[in-house]
Each structure stands twice: as C-alpha cells, then as structure tokens.
Structure 1
C-alpha cells in the first residue's frame, strides 16, 4: 500500500539542474512570477513571451537550468474572493502532478507560492501534497493486476520548506490513512465483500498499536447487533457475503484525556434489498462502504502517529444488503440492542440499521469513559448530496452542540481542505420517526427515497439517537453524552460519480487535524 515518499527541501539552490535526485519542479502559485528562486522566475519570464497560458492553466516549461529540466507552472486561480479557500492550492497541485507524471517525471519537487497571509491558507503546502496524492491514487484492482509501479509511477514528492516548518510525519500519516480509506471505499464488491473488507482492515493494522477483532459468528451478530443481522439476512446464504463486525482499539500512553467512539457503515453492496434500487441507481453501490472506510483510514493515521492521552474504539458494520428469499422487509418490527422496537419503513434505508446497534454498544462504553465523544460516519443519504453538494454534513445532539464538537471539527476541516457544513437536529426530525402505533417505538424511515423527503439527511440522526438509546443522554439528562452524525454521501467521491469517481477519504484529514495534530 505504497504512496509517494515525502521529503523536504530547505536549500533553494537544490532547485537548480545539478540536483539529480529530482526531475521536475511544480510551482503551485496564485502569481505568474516566482519569488523563491531567480532561476525559476527567469524561466517563467522567458516562457511568458511565447505562451500566454501561463497563469491561466497548468503549463509545462522546458527549463534546462532547473532540476530535471522541467518546470510546471500550475495556477491556483484567484484566492482573494470571499468564497476562495485552501483547496485552490490542492486543486492546482493535483493538476500539476498529473502533468508532471504524464511528462515522465518520477520524483518532482512542489514549490508553493503566492499564499495569502491568512490563517485559512496556513496549510496550503500541506494541502498541495495531499491534493497531489489524491490525484495520483489508482484503484486497488488496477495496482494488483498491473502492478503498483506500472500504474503509480511517481515515486516521491519533495516539498520546498525553507523554514523547516512542515510536519512531514503528520502529512505522511494522513496520506496513509486516506489511501487505506480510498482502497476500502473504491474496491469492487467481490474483492471487498465483507470478509475481504475485514481482512484488509486487519492487514493494514498488523504490527501497529491498533488491536483488531473480527466478529463473524452469525449467532453472536444476531444477538448483539440484531438490526445489522436483519440487513444481512439475505446475504447469509452466500458464504463470502456473510457479515462482519470489526472492532479496532487504540489506547495511548499516559492518562487518558479524551475518548473517541467511532461507528462506520460498510455496506459492501447496496441493492436496496426488498425495496430494490431501480432506474440505474444500483451502479456505484459498492462505494456504500465509505463511512467505515473513513473510520479505518483515521485509525491508520492514528496508528502511525501514536498520540498520547487518547483512547479510541472504532467499530465497523460490514454487510451486504442482498435480495433473496430471506430478505428483511418493510413493516417488520425488530428489537434493537438498546431494547427499542424498530419498525422498518424501507429496506433501502439500511445504513442506519447497520450502525444503530453498534452505536448502542458505544453508548454503553461511553458511560464509563473519560470525555467521550461518539460519531457515526456513513454514506447515508442522497439528500446530503442534494442539500450540500460535495461537502460533509454534521448533525449533533445537544451535548455535542454544548461542547462545540461540530464547530471544532468544521474549523479543522476548513484549514485542511476537507470542508464541512453543519446541520441541526430539529423537532420535525423526531416527528418523522415517531411510532404510528403502540406496536413499535420508532420508524426507521418513510417509504420514499431520502432525496424526496424534507430534512432527508437530518432525521436519520434522530433515528440513530433514539434507536441506540442516546436520546436518554441529552443535555438535560443525568449523564449527557456527546454524539455527532457525519454524512459523507456528498463528499465521499469526486464529482458525485458513485461508479467512477475517485473516493476522497473524507473526513480523514479533518478528523486527524482535529484530534491528532497537537
């Protein structure tokens, strides 16, 4: 699971042609000129006399006086508008690295200039590296079949850091986590059916400080996670499709100051179940495992950095929502782990069922932990994509809002180009899930697609809180427990193209910046 090695260049003299370790310079900038190196600035000046594309689009300049003889000028575009953010630099680096790769470079230098002296752009160089790695990633199936060296030809990326300020260990760890998350989310449904998905997670943590436990016993799953077990019912007939629950645990050195309890949804293929997806909407549903992929990616970053004073329990529900004679169906009433009676409204709203019992176990754990924060992460609703486009959405309960949990995560994500929008749990959400009779305690969903339902991405948080028992731990309770639901249905893949778009690994960078950078 390799990715470009990262290194630092502090001596600008190494930008010259005598540097044989690097074979290209990518200037990521909001300007046409270069202030760091007179050699680069002169090469740009000469090129400007014959090529007016410079400053408008990425351009390859022949520059024999520079390392590798190649200079790529990749513009960030304007950065002074109210809506501009640090992603401008990440996008420019992505375009520049692809041009460098296609030109034959293997060990490019990235030089970032023209960065506004504002806090919002403080991580422009780091975001440029992550943007380049995002652009270079190729699917696991391609790497396994063709060979990593054949499809991912960039071997290293050197960042110009004259003041020696960039935290290379943190950057490398974040990219390691993002790469694992992309692999898990983006790989086809047979290679990463539940067993394969769980095994890949275990392999990724081998030799690290993260302990992994895989639960595959059907009786245990149906007893401890009955809602997940119901979703998996039709998949039990096919051995390779049988469900898994994956626990990952990390306990940092020293006194524990913060406990994170993360729950991730991994529906390895979502047919919709008995409420089958139609009209071409089933294509791309192997990516419905992006939430658990992101949680595993965060744990990989955590394993690399080994922070002190932090305890993390991550649980992944890995299920195939299959169609068959034993499919669970709408109208069923299932007794959840929490003791809540759940009436099924639509079998294509399976993700919240997969996570609810895991969250209930997390609730029980949180009662005895130091400063616990609970999160569910999922590609949950089409409404999230419709409402917020390519952004991650957070919905908090009362204690999380009291602690500004979403605000802090949003701020961390904004500064690292992993952008987030914050929603709000409202009384209409709770009305949506209220029982219609005394036979049940909560309705999982209505019987229509979330995109056509008002507050379609907000009300699932209410369902998760009630079905897991967290509704008893609100701000006014004897034991408040902070809980935030994270919907990445809009941010999980590039361009909202669920079949072909690259997984983004959102919100791994935001989580790492919030909880691991210190």
Structure 2
C-alpha cells in the first residue's frame, strides 16, 4: 500500500545533489522565490507579461529547476479573517495535479509568504498531506489498472530550511489516511464486512496492533444484540455477514492514557425496512467512513509506536440489508447495557451498530488508565446540513471539563482538519425518552435527521444513554469523557458520496493532538 514518500530538504542546493527530483512547486501567497535568485527573477519577470502569475496556477519552463519544471501556485488572500492553513493545501492540490500531468514523478514543494501567525506553522506539512489526498486513486482502480499507472508520483520533496518537519510523522499520518480512504471509498462487494475485516488484518500484519475478528452469529447476538439486529437480513448471504473487528495497541512503559474508539462500518445502507428511495441510496457504500477513520488512526499509531499510551479500536462491520428477516421499527431489543431500545427507524442504524461496542468499552474503561471514549461515524445528514464540510464533535460534560473537543479542534485548525463543536442538551433526552413502560428509550424519531431540530446532537445522547455512559457523568464516582465525532459532512471532499474522494477525517486532527508531542 504505497503513497508518495515525503523527503525533507534542508536547502535548495540539495536539489542538485538529488537528480531524481523533476519539478519545483512553489505554493505561495506572494510572487517570487526567496531560496534562489534566478528563479525569483524568472517569476517576477513572468508576472510582468502574464497577469495570471500570483492570481492562478501557472507552469513555467526553468533551467534552474529540477526537470526544468516550475509551477507557481498562489494561495487565496491570506489577509482575510477566514483564511487558514488549508489555503496552502488547496493550492498544493492543484499544483500536484499539474506536475503529475506534466510527467513529474518526484516533485518538490516549497512554501512562500507564510503569515507569522502560529496557525500557519504547519503549512508545508499541510501542502504535502493535501497533495497526497489529491493523488490517491480508488482501490478498485488500482487493483485493475495498476498503481504504477494511476499513481505515478513516488516521492514528494519538502523544502524545509528550518528543519521543522518530522518526516516520519508525516509518513505515518499519510499511511493511516490511505488505509482509511481505501476502506471507506471501496464499493460494497469488494469491501463487504468479511472483506473489510480481512483488509484490516492484512494492514496490521507484522505491526504492534493486535487484530481479532468476531464472526460467530450466536456470539454476536449475545454480545452485540443491537448490531446483530441491523445485520439480521444480511445473514442469509455469506459474503455479507457481519464482523466485529478489534484493534489493540499498547505502548511501551507505564500506560498513562487510554483511547477507545468505536467506528461505524455500515458497508452498505439500504435503509433497511425504512428503505432509502428517490436516489438516496447511491453512495451508501461510504457509510463506513467512521470505522475507516478508526482503522486509519490505528495505522498511524502502529507506525509511530508511541510510548505510555493504549489505543483500542472497535469496529462494527455490517450491511443494513432489506429482506424477510430484516429488523423493523417498533421492535424492542435489549442492548448489552441492559437498556430496552425501541426501534424508531431502521435507517438510523449506525447508532445501533456502535452502541453495544461502546457499552463494552464503557465497562472496560473504568479499569483503564485515564480513559477517553469516542464514536466516529457518518451518522446524520443533519451534521452535514449544520456544518457543511466540517467534522462535528459532540462531547459529554466530563470531556468538556477536560477541554477534549476544543483541544482536538485546535489541532485540526493547525493541521487543516477543521471541525465544529456541539454538546448534548436536555431537549435531546426528550427526543429519545420512552413513551411507555415497555421500553427504556427510543432509538430515533421516524423522520429524516435534516428535518429534526438537534438532529445530530440527540443521536449522541442515545449512544450515551443506551450504552450506559450517561451513568458516568461529571457528578458520578467514575466520570468518563466521551466525544461523538460525526463526519457526515467531512467524510468526502465536496458532498458527493458516490463519487468524491474520502478525506479520512478526522485522522489528522486525532494524530496532531494525541501523537504529535
């Protein structure tokens, strides 16, 4: 599973010593190039006759550049209040495509005109990660056409005169993101639950991450009754049968922090008995982006091998099929926590897939060091409607008291993986309240989340209550910080779930906060 390897360059003079480099990409908010007088003069002279220079991306022939290829990629106006480090990433995406199309396979990226504000300190890293995002091609295409043809760029040099970059860290993050994109972006048969589990097993072979996979139907029904209900109609098709994937990493030395992630891997979501109609089923093979991000973050952990930390990933991989044996609204199912859950809508399946896994994590967390729990999912259309292309963190009171979401948000701002923050409110409990003595809570309303007030907050409340986590609030004897991460808006690049590239959000933000010390 290859990707363009980052190569640090401490000076422009190193390029003459590395003949393999074949293009220079300057991502800049200004005109010119401070590292070479000849190239600086060429860009300024070009700007006199070509008014596109400094306003849009241009390609110039240059005898002073590797491969004689010079690409100047301007950022947006960085004096705007809304400017952020992603402006460098956006320019790098355009530039790397131009370099690739021009025949470059080992380009170099340099950044110019950095604002002094600390929020731009990782601009070069963001440019690299954004370039890799642009260059990624779908797994199915690579397997049929070949990686060599579809992904010709082998290395990306990064001009880093201040020696600030951690090249190993960048490679580890991109390794995780690539795994996450592959898992999320692959069609529903190639990445059905058993194959999703197999891909995870292969990805962690020989690493410090232990992988175990549960597949026995009786065991799944006993340990994860809500997940098993969602998967019920898929059991008759062997290749669609559910899997629970456990990923565990334990670093060297005394464990000072435990991170527990639960990921939703609905490998195809028909909506179940509450069938998705009107063309809304297209793209539902990407309803596994949350679990893909969990696996991706674990891959980054495996590459970096941090000490003193334990990281646990629990993935529920199911297909929400429709058929004679599908679960239906009105059923009452007793969760692992003992809570009786009345099904409100079978198209609100993701919270059911994660709930029992979260309950098991909750039970384990009380015996672990400094536990923090997360669910990650492409959960609600309401999140995309509310925040557009941004991840949303919804945290409980213990997490808020620890500034968990705000710290993750700050990391995302620096690394270009931006997010918004929300919190549960008392109205959310009213939505899921029981309506009779027959059950303890309702899984969802029976309308689309986009039409319901607080449509992305109340599912977090359901997860908290149904998993038993609400019993570990800020006033309990054992408070447990919990943050639900909804990536329905950020999981693909621009909202087209059938065709757009997966982003691997929020792997970058998680890594920046927990692994970049």
State the TM-score, normalizing by the size of structure 1: 0.99
2:175 corresponds in structure 1 to 176
- Per-residue deviation at 1:9? 1.2
Report the Cα distance in structure 1 between the residues aligned to 2:311 and 2:59, rounded to whole angstroms.
46
For 1:318 and 1:200, how far apart are their aligned partners in 2? 12
Alpha-carbon RMSD across the aligned residues, in angstroms, is 0.8
Cα separation, 1, equivalents of 2:515 and 2:44: 43
Query: What is aligned with 1:62?
Result: 61
Q: Distance in 2 between matches of 1:152 and 1:204?
A: 19
Q: Any idea what the Cα deviations from partners look like across 1:330-377, whole Å, max 9, x if unmatched?
A: 000000000000000000000000000000000000010110000000
The equivalent residue for 2:427 is: 428
CA contact (8 A) 1:134 1:504 kept: yes
Partner of 1:496: 495
Q: Deviations over 1:136-168 (max 9, x none)?
A: 000000100000000001111000011222000
The equivalent of 2:243 in structure 1 is 244
Runs (5+) with no aligned partner, structure 2: none
Structure 2 match to 1:478: 477
> Is residue 220–residue 228 contact of structure 2 (8 Å, CA) maintained in 1?
yes
- Residues 348-407 of structure 1, C-alpha deviation per residue, up to 9 Å, x if partnerless? 000000000000000000010110000000000000000000000011111111111101
Contact 2:268 2:284 in 1 (8 A): yes
Instruction: Report the Cα distance in structure 2 between the residues aligned to 1:161 and 1:514, rounded to whole angstroms.
Output: 22
Give the structure 1 partner of residue 371 of structure 2: 372
On the 8 A contact 1:39/1:66 being kept in 2, the answer is no
* 2:515 alignment partner in structure 1: 516
Partner of 2:9: 9
String of CA shifts for 1:174-194, please: whole Å, max 9, x gaps. Answer: 000000000000000000000
Distance (whole Å) between structure 1 residues aligned to residue 45 and residue 62 of structure 2: 10
SS of residue in 2 equivalent to 1:494? coil
Matches within 5 A, 1:284-433: 284-433=283-432
Distance in 1 of aligned mates of 2:13 and 2:268: 52
Q: After the TM superposition, which residues 74-473 of structure 1 pair with which residues of structure 2 at under 5 Å, given as runs?
A: 74-473=73-472
C-alpha displacement of 1:67: 1.2
Matched positions, count: 517
Q: Distance in 2 between matches of 1:38 and 1:361?
A: 62
Equivalent position SS for 1:94: helix
Partner secondary structure for residue 33 of structure 2: coil
CA-CA distance at 1:42 after TM superposition: 1.6
**Matched-pair contact (CA < 8 Å) for 2:210–2:247:** yes
Q: C-alpha displacement at 1:253, in angstroms? A: 0.4
Q: Secondary structure at the match of 1:213?
A: strand
TM-score, with structure 2 as normaliser: 0.99
Q: CA separation of 1:3/1:401 partners in 2, compared to 1, >3 Å: closer, same or farther?
A: same
What secondary structure sits across from 1:79 in the alignment? coil
Residue by residue over 1:287-319, the C-alpha shift from the partner in whole angstroms, topping out at 9 and shown as x without a partner, is 000000000000000000000000011100000
CA distance in 2, matches of 1:11, 1:469: 56
Cα deviation for residue 47 of structure 1 reads: 1.8
Hey, which bits of structure 1, 4+ residues long, moved more than 3 A?
Answer: none
Report if the CA contact (8 A) 1:55-1:77 is conserved. Answer: no
- Given that residues 47 and 54 in structure 2 are in contact (C-alpha distance below 8 angstroms), is that contact kept between their aligned partners in structure 1? no
- Output the CA distance in 1 between the equivalents of 2:64 and 2:507: 39
Structure 1 position 40, deviation (Å): 1.6
- 8 Å contact 1:111–1:160 — kept in the other structure? yes
Partner-residue secondary structure (3-state), 1:35: coil
Query: Deviation string for 1:29-78 (max 9, x for gaps)?
Result: 10011122212202212322332111111110011222110100001121
Q: In the aligned structure 2, how far is the partner of 1:308 from the partner of 1:150? A: 39
Give 1:22 deviation, angstroms. 0.7
Tell me how far apart the structure 2 counterparts of residues 511 and 19 of structure 1 sit (CA, whole Å): 34
Q: Does 1:26 align with 2:22?
A: no
Contact 1:234–1:325 (Cα < 8 Å) also in 2: yes
Q: What's the CA shift for 1:19?
A: 5.0
Deviations 1:71-112 (A, max 9, x none): 000011211211110000011111100000011111000011
